[in-house]
């Protein structure tokens, strides 16, 4: 006679069976319950915190449910904080949560990643939130590993009022390659913003993106780095291209792959810009 042998499941990592209940307590705002559960976990061995699976989710739960007392408690007990949680608080415009994160060691000018500037670059979509960031020490010129700043991001997606605010609070055209990024802007006010930064002396009109820093340029050369005019040719921003030409842009400068702006416009089927550059070239040759 055969017998079915049922093997016992391997034990779960310490406290994993309780983590979902613990997260529910956080989301419900039960601070005493959270404190009691956590104290029980650590009663025998404080190092047990390192054995608790999915612990990293708890800070996000507190932020998402606006449980600020619990958020303060968790951080004071050493719960891990990462950039995802800070991005969540920024996206939700959780100013109180952001205050708590700053109080527990978050550097507001720390880049999101090596290629993404600090979180002011995310806050710039809301003028009041951007103002809050600035009031708490955010630097519009703070870079990541590249010359890409919150002000660079503002050129693409912030309102004109927010852009003026950033300049009023220390923003500078000397940082962030602003001409290159405004060439990517899709809003109807892009010429107004382009004129604004040109009036402030924005450099780089006839320079390839990152060309001023060889250590940045060389690893990205394969991507077809362009002048602002070349970027406008790629994006199809006809009015930007026209304004850049009137402001001294050189259409004969090739990108890092060896293509002229007119060739870039042809490749991306931006026929209006092809026509503009052809006519500009013809007019220039007649002088």
Domain boundaries, the chain: 18-106
- Pick the more confident residue, 142 or 79: 142
Pick from 226, 215, 222, 233: nearest CA to 143: 215
Pick from 100, 202, 190: nearest CA to 149: 202
Encoded tokens for 82: 């990462």
| pLDDT of the residue at 53 | 66
Dist CA 132 CA 112 (whole Å): 18
| pLDDT of the residue at 44 | 64
In angstroms and rounded to an integer, the radius of gyration of the C-alpha atoms of the chain is: 26
| CB burial string 20-53: b at 16+ within 10 A, e below | eebbebbeeebeebbeebbeebeeeeeeebeebe
Helices 160-168, 127-135: inter-axial angle, 10-degree rounding: 10
| pLDDT of the residue at 7 | 34
CA angle 36, 38, 42 (to 5 degrees): 115
| pLDDT of the residue at 284 | 72
Segment 237-250 shows an average pLDDT of 98
How does residue 287 score in pLDDT terms, banded at 50, 70 and 90? low
pLDDT tens-place string over residues 257-282: 999 999 999 999 999 999 999 999 87
Let me know if 181 is exposed, middle or buried by CB neighbors in 10 A (0-12, 13-18, 19+).
Answer: buried
CA distances from 206 to 77, 150, 154, 228 (A): 53, 22, 21, 7
pLDDT tens-place string over residues 184-226: 999 899 999 999 999 999 999 999 999 999 999 999 999 999 9
Query: In this structure, how many other beta carbons lie within 10 angstroms of the beta carbon of residue 277?
Result: 24
Encoded tokens for 200: 């402030």
Residue for token pair 């989710």 = 57
């Amino acid at each position: 006679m055969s017998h079915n042998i049922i093997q016992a499941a391997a034990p779960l990592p310490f406290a994993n069976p309780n983590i979902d209940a613990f997260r529910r307590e956080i989301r419900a705002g039960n601070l005493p319950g959270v404190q009691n559960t956590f104290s029980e976990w650590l009663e025998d061995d404080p190092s047990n915190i390192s054995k608790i699976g999915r612990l990293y989710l708890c800070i996000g739960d507190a932020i998402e449910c606006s449980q600020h007392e619990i958020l303060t408690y968790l951080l004071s007990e050493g719960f891990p904080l990462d950039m995802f949680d800070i991005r969540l608080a920024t996206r939700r415009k959780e100013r109180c949560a952001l205050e708590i994160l700053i109080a527990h060691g978050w550097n507001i000018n720390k880049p999101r990643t090596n290629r993404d500037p600090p979180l002011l670059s995310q806050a710039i979509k809301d003028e009041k939130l951007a103002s809050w960031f600035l009031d708490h020490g955010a630097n519009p010129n703070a870079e990541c590993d590249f010359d890409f700043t919150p002000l660079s991001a503002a050129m693409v997606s912030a309102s004109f009022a927010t852009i003026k605010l950033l300049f009023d609070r220390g923003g500078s055209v000397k940082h962030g390659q602003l001409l290159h990024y405004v060439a990517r802007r899709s809003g109807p006010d892009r010429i107004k913003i382009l004129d604004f930064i040109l009036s402030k002396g924005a450099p780089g009109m006839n320079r390839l993106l990152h060309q001023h820093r060889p250590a940045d340029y060389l690893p990205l050369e394969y991507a077809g780095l362009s002048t602002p005019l070349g970027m406008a040719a790629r994006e199809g921003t006809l009015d930007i291209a026209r304004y850049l030409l009137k402001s001294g842009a050189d259409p004969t400068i090739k990108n890092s792959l060896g293509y002229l702006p007119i060739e870039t416009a042809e490749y991306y089927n931006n026929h209006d810009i092809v026509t503009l550059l052809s006519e500009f070239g013809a007019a220039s040759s007649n002088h």
